[in-house]
Structure 1
């Protein structure tokens, strides 16, 4: 099934881009636009802009931009169709789907097929948990023993896989699903001529992406059989890359944003128990080492992470690399350690929800205090040699922080905590930073630091053709921003610019392609709105057009009255702006032709050809002078 064109158009008509983006970014009105911190980078100064009139956003720190649909795709990491369905749900629009032809069904994207079969499997496992005798007596009993109530079980869509070789395989085949797609989704295994379920006799933990789509499963056995691994997970597929996802992110993302804090734990049951205890802003790395991609996923919603540890100090030391990675990605990190023998799952069940939440808040420590306490065994370790190593470990972590001010604050705090002179720590920190910079440089970068060999200076001639790019962009910018405005009584700005450039070959082929598309839209009687150029079919053109829609610079409200300085916007004299842009474009083209003619003349050995080239040269120079005179430019 595909979303009907009428539904897509209704979604586009109902979208309020400021309203959509405000669900993810705190926006402040500035002039006619809105501004906020980028959800894609760790910036401190707002460079993310939204234009309600043009219905687009532009992130100057990451370079990303587009309409409301592309924003949802970027920020949630979902497909075009999934973004449309998200927006339809937000605005209460019924999604009408159209029947596809046999050819379209056959060509259906494999990625979508994986989502469909994984969702089917999730529903099957849930059904077995609540309706089969085996599921109720084993799986449901286990979850209830863990203290999970029915609402929590449903929130995380927990399930049970029957202790059969082909329970899921048989059910899926009876519904028309192919063995091929089941295998690609990691749900069945092949061994010689045998095919059987990957998950058998286990409680099931569906792993969802940020949009709530099931992309994989974690499964725990309840047997005491030592030959069986306690947990098994889905293999990596086209929709599941374990380093890119966090368990519980779908249920936690809004709470993380609201609390401006993310709790990071290790296992599925840690997340579920904490959620039931009222702590909803929690995710798990699902037993894998923390990755850069997982940290970046959290950074979409907050810059603050608190890592929760059980009382095993050896295990904590092994996870220090995760804290360093968080610091390296410019996020703030704190840590909470539970009493010996306790983890977030077990400890949350020993007290009330309020008491547990208070424990988390009152026991959160900055990474310096936390790391020092672990490395010195709570201050019991006083060996000077060991203390030197602790200091080095702490400074090495601080050196990873990109923000210089943060580094300075942490150095000062470390000096007080470790009873070491601050200048000594700063000196060591600077050494580490310099070493890192040298290590990060490519070998050829060091070549540049050596004195250059003595040689005769050479004058490098400019690439005349490339100089035309700015004026080519200017012509397109005027068409995109003011195409519908009048040039004179007979034509619009777009009609004038497109008519004057019709016979010109552009150096930048993407600009030429975009202008050709604008010409086609005009020929079809369509208005040159930005959304005519922005969409998933041509990302390069979309990005180019978004870059033309300048939003970052504007005259603030009350400027003229406050400073008594009159300003004039280009929109107040568009015909002159368009005419000047065309003259500058033609001047660059003439300069390029003159340059080419001169180069040909230098190489020519034929007198007749030389005479013809000289006549052409004089003609081009006359035309260039006329354009310069028209522009009011005087050249020697």
Structure 2
């Protein structure tokens, strides 16, 4: 089904980009904009910028940019239509969709289809739990025994799978979902495709209570399922397999339900199981997530870091819980997060302990018993070492090894003092050990890098062989770069592909970009009464075409609009919808998003900083930009004429004189513009 244009406009008008992006990362105000660590690439220092006035975002690290719709498309890896449906649901806008053409259906990608069928399965399991006799007597009774209330069951969208071979498959087929899609979503198993033999297709989950696994935006991407009857041939817990939409190492159970509270309280509690999360949530501790049946991964830690830098790990107090806590400790530190650990009394997990002591007592226990990683590790080592000095030394080295994982040198310095206090040794000895371990890590990293380089060189030599001189010449010629005549000349390592060579920008492209930047930001601004900047630039660039895409296209759009009596603004480039126009949108966002802002301290102390928006400064910037564009065009023409003059064959004396006259004309233009710009003129 297609979404009508008027509905699309309503969705866009209702959407607030700050609200949308805040669902995925924690934004902090800086000046008139907001910043965060980018959700699209790993970074420690925020380079992701959101402009609420223009309703756009821009990452200065990876280059991602767009509006709210584009953000949802990128972060969820979904199509345009699904992104609009997500925003419509968020803002309570009803969509009366139009019938979709076969072409529309073909454009719906597999990921969107999987999300749709997984949502169907979630609803099927919910209705089985709450409306069927089997679901009520088995599934709902189990949840009641665990003390879960209806609001909690609804919040986590818990369900039940019938104890039948193909109940879900039959209902899915009846609703129009083909078996191939159900299999790709991990909901059914095709025995022939997995093990060969007789062809049989059946439900993956049967006779189990269902725990839907949501992504950050609340879409169901997988399921966890617990069996309720005793069957030694069946695992207690069964999870969805990896699919296009579900990668367990990148998902935290409960993140959708917890993200707002994590942001508000600026701390995240990390547990191991589904019921731990659900029970703590019901007890009022809503900023809790679980690694959902897998060892803690770097991707999961980075997901937490989107919302808070503070993590407390809650694990069981037995040997396995201690081992799990120690395993995840260094990974959390390496990502720059502030870490505390809490071991519950032996034999207890978060679910059982909160039911045993109640919500308030549990919160008090967390507050008083949580330890920083130094106290936690030191306590384990000191208990084991006793009076053994060698064991104590081993413990100090182990704690120092964890400190070396921390990227911030100031934190490392502060924590070294804490280690010295806990182990009763000199701070200098701790610093020396940390430095020794850091040097060791650096040496290992260098050796590994060298080994990788050697392997890559061997593979490249084996697969391709050394390129010949002719091949190198052809490569450079294709890129428009002259290669050396000598085959013994060293080759720069970066010049190994045509793509990289062609990626080099021409000098004039920077001036074209600056011209477009001025147009997009200030086109309607009057430089003097009745003369706008747009009118001035377009008149000065009469019959001049830009050489760089997409600046040439944007300039054409300005010219066409000006002929209609309109002056385009930044907003006209932000709502580009087709895939072909995305480059224009991204370039416009790049040109309208300044990376730096004037410090509030300067304003506080009344330090005046001239603004580009002031008429005199703006007029001068436009004037000098036009001069530079014309100067570079003159230089290009001079170089072309010089080349023609060198080729004297088949030229008459009159033709040569004509070329020289034309060359001197552009030379005078170049000299005059250089004088106006105040640049040095070479002879």
For the residue of structure 2 that corresponds to 1:289, the secondary structure is: coil
Distance 1:482 1:342, change over 3 A: same
Give the aligned partner of residue 358 of structure 1.
364
Match of 1:591 among 625, 631, 635: 635
1:269 shift after superposition:
0.9
User: 1:207–1:215: 8 Å Cα contact kept in structure 2?
Assistant: yes
Does structure 2 conserve the Cα–Cα contact (< 8 Å) formed by 1:510 and 1:541? yes
Question: Could you tell me whether the CA contact under 8 Å between 1:465 and 1:592 is conserved in 2?
Answer: no
Q: 2:430 aligns with which of 425, 436, 450?
A: 425
1:292 & 1:426 partners in 2: Cα distance? 27
Give the paired residue count: 623
Which of the residues 339, 344, 357 maps onto 1:338? Answer: 344
How far is the alpha carbon of 1:16 from its aligned partner? 4.7
1:511 matches 2:555 = no
Alignment of 1:455-534 (within 5 A): 466-486=506-526, 492-498=532-538, 500-501=540-541, 504=544, 506=546, 508-519=548-559, 522=562, 527-534=567-574
Residue 577 (1) aligns with residue 621 (2): yes
The answer to whether residue 589 in structure 2 is matched with residue 546 in structure 1 is: yes
Q: Deviations over 1:147-199 (max 9, x none)?
A: 22222122111111111111111111122221111111111111232111111
Does 1:55 pair with 2:62?
no
Q: Distance in 2 between matches of 1:196 and 1:163?
A: 12
Maintained 8 Å contact 1:117/1:177 = yes
* From 621, 632, 635, the counterpart of 2:667: 621
Deviates more, 1:543-552 or 1:61-70: 61-70
The answer to whether the Cα contact below 8 Å between 1:118 and 1:216 also exists between their aligned partners in 2 is yes
Contact 1:317–1:374, Cα closer than 8 Å, also in 2: no
Alignment check: 8 A CA contact 1:51 1:551 kept: no
1:116 aligned onto 2:116: yes
Q: How do 1:255-334 residues align onto structure 2 when only pairs under 5 Å count?
A: 255-334=261-340
**What secondary structure, in the 3-state scheme, does the structure 2 residue paired with 1:333 have?**
strand
Runs of 5+ in structure 2 lacking a partner?
Answer: 193-198, 455-487, 491-501
Give the corresponding residue for 1:8.
8
Return 1-10 or 626-635, whichever deviates more.
626-635
Between 61-70 and 553-562, report the one with greater CA deviation. 553-562
1:413 aligns to what? 418
Other structure's SS at 1:94 match: coil
Where does structure 1 lack aligned partners over 5 or more consecutive residues? 448-454, 458-462
Higher RCO (C-alpha 8 Å, min separation 6):
1
- The correspondence of residues 113-152 of structure 1 with structure 2, limited to 5 A, is 113-152=113-152
Q: TM-score, normalised by structure 2?
A: 0.82
Distance in 2 (alpha carbons) for counterparts of 1:91 and 1:274: 29
Q: Choose 537-546 or 126-135, whichever is displaced more.
A: 537-546
Report the equivalent of 1:401: 406
The answer to whether the Cα contact below 8 Å between 2:78 and 2:111 also exists between their aligned partners in 1 is no
Q: Distance in 2 between matches of 1:141 and 1:129?
A: 10
Q: 1:401·1:407 contact (CA, 8 Å) conserved in 2? A: yes
8 Å contact from structure 2 (residues 38, 46) kept in 1: no
Cα offsets for 1:212-243 (capped at 9, x unmatched): 11111111112222111111111111111111
Shift of 1:26: 5.3
Are the structure 2 counterparts of residues 76 and 95 from structure 1 closer, same or farther at C-alpha, using a change threshold of 3 Å? same
Mapped to 2, the partners of 1:408 and 1:564 lie a distance apart of 36
CA distance in 1: counterparts of 2:505 and 2:103, whole angstroms: 47
- Contact 1:530–1:545, Cα closer than 8 Å, also in 2: yes
Label 1:300 to 1:562 Cα distance change in 2 as closer, same or farther (>3 A): closer
Contact 2:315/2:325, CA 8 A, preserved across alignment? no
SS at match of 2:276: helix
Cα RMSD of the aligned pairs, angstroms, is 3.6
Q: CA 1:237/1:76 → structure 2, altered by over 3 Å: closer, same or farther?
A: closer
From 218, 221, 225, the equivalent of 2:231 is: 225
TM-score by length of 1: 0.87
Q: C-alpha distance in 1, partners of 2:604/2:156? A: 58
- Which one is further off, 530-539 or 1-10? 530-539
